[in-house]
């Protein structure tokens, strides 16, 4: 059990209204020092509202949010010294060069002049901006603009980073580079990462918080969410045998709930209650004299879990 001293982000009963509209309702969560946590939800779920409150852009209607032990409302200036923020739409001064903008960002963050050059070199190297440092931001591609936004968030080496869609607009090679950079931030920085690219979240985050309709619907590691919310276990197998006979035989195994043919002698078997049916499947294939070419457990993806949770919440609300 971690102590409060290890918690870099603490949110308690956070609520926000826009006029009569409730955006988030009594959110409570913590992020420990050095964690990378994915913050997920469909459009309109309240993700951006929560991130803006944490970064000091909005005040909550109720509840508290603290970063590095400081209250995000009453100690907002202290919070901003501990925080690097990359919003989904990066606010850049496009009539400045990259180095001019980053120098301005360093001055705004209170970086001493004598340290400024070293700090600019550090973040430009980290984000791969050396080749464009003297170019106007207006002339840069969307990918390089995203890198500039990430570089300004890293200035002054803040202990907490909030990254809202950090790889949006990047090409595949740039995405790999930025993902690697974010991985390297773990331990030295506490990171909240919001992204619509769920495989990206699975690769980068130790824990995931899923929000829907302004409330948290799940919070755990991607692996635990897959096990807890997958509604059964799945096995993928490749069997050389008559398709109709194979499907019929697999469906007769008591623990098997569903069998789906996937072409080329491949089948996906879903079993109830997280039972491991691989021994029964292997035994059946051997007894029938068919060739077994593949037999492996298939985990539910974070995307499947996410869609299941969000759909379940919507159905429950409609029924109520």
- The CA distance from 301 to 223, in Å, is 9
Cα angle for residues 51, 52, 57 (degrees, 5° grid)? 155
pLDDT for residue 2: 46
Record the tokens describing residue 200, joined without a space.
Answer: 């990206």
pLDDT for residue 312: 56
Q: How do 160-164 and 83-86 pair as beta strands?
A: parallel
pLDDT for residue 174: 76
pLDDT for residue 229: 63
Record the tokens describing residue 298, joined without a space.
Answer: 């298939």
pLDDT for residue 19: 94
Give, rounded to a whole angstrom, the gap between the first and last alpha carbons of the chain: 37
pLDDT for residue 279: 92
- The CA distance from 66 to 101, in Å, is 29
pLDDT for residue 310: 76
User: pLDDT means per 10 residues in the chain (320 residues)?
Assistant: 69 96 96 93 90 93 95 92 88 95 92 82 90 96 88 92 86 82 84 87 90 92 74 85 93 91 91 82 94 87 77 48
- The CA distance from 22 to 33, in Å, is 30
Q: How do 62-67 and 7-18 pair as beta strands?
A: antiparallel
- The CA distance from 188 to 165, in Å, is 21
- Render 230-275 in DSSP notation, one character per residue: SSSEEEEEEEES-HHHHHHHHHTSTTEEEEEE-STTEEEEEEGGG-
Q: How many helices (H) and strands (E) in the chain? A: 11, 14
Record the tokens describing residue 91, joined without a space.
Answer: 């606010």
- Render 43-108 in DSSP notation, one character per residue: TTSSHHHHHHHHTTSS--SEEEEEETTEETTTTHHHHHHTEEEE-SS----TTSBHHHHHHHHHHH
**Calculated CA dihedral for residues 33, 220, 269, 314, nearest 10 degrees:** -130
Q: How do 21-32 and 160-164 pair as beta strands?
A: unpaired
Domains and CATH numbers, the chain: 4-227 (3.40.50.300), 231-297 (3.30.70.100)
Burial label for 191, CB within 10 Å (0-12, 13-18, 19+), is buried
Please report which residue ranges of 96-197 form alpha helices under DSSP H.
98-108, 113-126, 142-154, 172-185
Burial label for 316, CB within 10 Å (0-12, 13-18, 19+), is exposed
């Amino acid at each position: 059990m971690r102590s409060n001293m290890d918690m870099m982000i603490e949110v308690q009963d956070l609520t926000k209204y826009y006029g009569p509209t409730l955006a988030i309702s009594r959110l409570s969560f913590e992020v420990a020092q050095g964690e990378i946590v994915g913050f997920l939800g469909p459009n309109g779920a309240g993700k951006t509202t929560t991130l803006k409150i944490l970064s000091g852009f909005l005040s909550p209607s109720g509840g508290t949010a603290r970063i590095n032990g400081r209250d995000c409302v009453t100690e907002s200036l202290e919070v901003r010294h501990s925080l690097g923020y990359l919003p989904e739409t990066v606010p850049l001064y496009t009539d400045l060069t990259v180095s001019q903008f980053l120098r301005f960002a360093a001055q705004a963050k209170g970086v001493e002049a004598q340290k400024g050059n070293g700090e600019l070199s550090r973040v430009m190297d980290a984000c791969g901006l050396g080749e464009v440092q003297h170019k106007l931001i207006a002339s840069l591609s969307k990918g390089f603009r995203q890198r500039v936004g990430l570089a300004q968030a890293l200035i002054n080496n803040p202990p907490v980073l909030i990254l809202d869609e950090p790889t949006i607009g990047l090409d595949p090679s740039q995405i790999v580079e930025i993902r690697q950079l974010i991985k390297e931030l773990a331990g030295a920085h506490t990171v909240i990462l919001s992204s619509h690219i769920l495989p990206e979240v699975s690769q980068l985050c130790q824990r995931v918080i899923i929000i829907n309709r302004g409330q948290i619907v799940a919070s755990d590691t991607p692996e635990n969410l897959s096990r807890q919310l997958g509604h059964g276990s799945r096995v993928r197998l490749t069997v050389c045998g008559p398709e109709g006979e194979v499907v019929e035989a697999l469906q007769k195994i008591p623990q098997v709930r569903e069998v789906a043919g996937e072409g080329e002698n491949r089948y996906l078997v879903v079993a109830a209650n997280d039972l491991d049916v691989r021994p029964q499947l292997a035994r059946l294939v051997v007894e029938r004299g068919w060739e077994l070419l593949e037999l492996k457990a298939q985990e539910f993806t974070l995307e499947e879990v996410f869609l299941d949770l969000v759909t379940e919440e919507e159905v429950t609300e409609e029924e109520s």
